[in-house]
């Protein structure tokens, strides 16, 4: 009867012919079952960073498909109708699971690519992942973040006490590579006009005037991310990657970053008003994008996650 074909890294299974012998007739009847057909591209050498569990789920289904296809699959009906029906039912179930596993892998890869923003994602160490998981384990059972509190007098958002250990472990201290391209911009050099200060030149660092006084800034501060719906439900490595992904980073002058105070675009004192408005829009757009990507990643997780 119906056989499956293992799912590739990029394609869906083809449904092949099922062969039924009827003793009362001298003809063979071939039944071609309907199925989804998707063009198959070149097989990837491995899953994208962050999609290993989705690839593992797909590999597991493929192993079940291989087992299924190795079973005898030519049946004589009506004598073996029940066995034929059971074989085809399992094939349909495996094809459905395989299609879902392939879709999860594809959607994970798409979300990861958007987070990377044509750059390289941070790769948390196992020690960092373990510490994030330990901090998450300290959250009250069923904990859900409250509504974000109003910004404080310095413009920042306070992290609710239960989330503070997780927040501490998510913060990336650097050093960041000098060759990062963030929001399409390379690291500014000494003398580069600073849009936050009406084009005034970016100075060198006090400790080394040859190096520009610029920093990597989180567009949506991690303190705010803690309140984004679904963020705490992500696996530890996803939380770290989302928070510190190129999609959520930009180069800022040390002056602008200091005035922003990690959370307060609108409080930059003598900054160019046009730049301030652009930053507010960038923060709002990035928050919406990260929310969409968080939701997308959550839907791709295997049940065991």
Closest C-alpha among 170, 193, 194, 200 to residue 262? 170
pLDDT tens digits for 147-183? 988 766 555 688 999 999 999 999 866 788 999 999 9
Are 147 and 26 members of one domain?
no
Peptide bond into 175 cis (omega under 30): yes
Residues 46 and 143 in one domain: no
Q: The domain containing residue 39 runs over which residues?
A: 18-116
| Of 120, 121, 152, nearest in space to 224 by CA | 152
Residue 271's pLDDT band (cuts 50, 70, 90)? confident
- Interatomic CA distance for residues 146 and 46, integer angstroms: 39
Are 262 and 223 in contact by the 8 Å Cβ rule? The answer is yes
Both 50 and 104 in one domain: the answer is yes
Are the C-beta atoms of 222 and 164 separated by less than 8 Å?
Answer: no
3-class secondary-structure state, position 218: strand
Cβ 221 vs Cβ 244: under 8 Å: no
Length of the chain, please? Answer: 305
Of 263 and 100, more confident? 100
Residue 125, CA atoms < 13 Å, CB-side half-sphere: 5
* Residue 62 within a domain: yes
Same domain, 183 and 203: yes
Percentage of residues in the chain having pLDDT higher than 70: 79
Mean of per-residue pLDDT scores for the chain: 82
Domains held by the chain: number: 2
Q: Is residue 280 part of a domain?
A: yes
- For residue 64, give the DSSP letter: H
In a domain, 10, yes or no: no
């Amino acid at each position: 009867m119906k056989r499956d074909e293992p799912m590739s890294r990029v394609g869906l299974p083809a449904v092949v012919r099922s062969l039924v012998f009827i003793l009362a007739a001298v003809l063979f009847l071939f039944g071609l079952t309907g199925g989804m057909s998707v063009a198959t591209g070149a097989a990837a050498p491995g899953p994208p960073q962050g999609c290993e569990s989705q690839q593992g789920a797909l590999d597991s289904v493929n192993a079940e498909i291989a087992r299924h296809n190795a079973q005898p699959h030519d049946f004589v009906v009506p004598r073996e109708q029940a066995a034929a029906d059971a074989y085809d039912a399992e094939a349909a179930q495996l094809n459905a699971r395989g299609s879902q596993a392939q879709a999860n892998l594809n959607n994970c890869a798409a979300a990861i690519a958007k987070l990377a923003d044509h750059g390289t994602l941070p790769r948390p160490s196992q020690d960092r992942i373990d510490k994030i998981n330990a901090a998450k384990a300290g959250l009250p059972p069923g904990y859900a973040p409250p509504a974000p509190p109003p910004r404080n007098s310095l413009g920042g958002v306070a992290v609710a006490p239960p989330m503070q250990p997780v927040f501490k472990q998510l913060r990336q201290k650097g050093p960041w590579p000098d060759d990062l391209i963030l929001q399409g911009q390379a690291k500014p050099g000494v003398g580069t006009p600073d849009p936050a200060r009406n084009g005034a030149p970016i100075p060198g660092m006090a400790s080394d005037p040859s190096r520009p006084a610029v920093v990597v800034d989180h567009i949506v501060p991690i303190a705010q991310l803690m309140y984004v719906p679904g963020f705490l439900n992500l696996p530890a490595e996803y939380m770290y990657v989302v928070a510190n992904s190129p999609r959520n980073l930009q180069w800022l002058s040390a002056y602008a970053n200091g005035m922003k105070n990690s959370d307060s675009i609108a409080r930059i004192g003598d900054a160019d008003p046009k730049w301030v408005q652009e930053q507010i829009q960038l923060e709002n757009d990035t928050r919406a994008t990260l929310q969409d990507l968080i939701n997308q990643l959550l839907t791709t997780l295997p049940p065991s996650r």
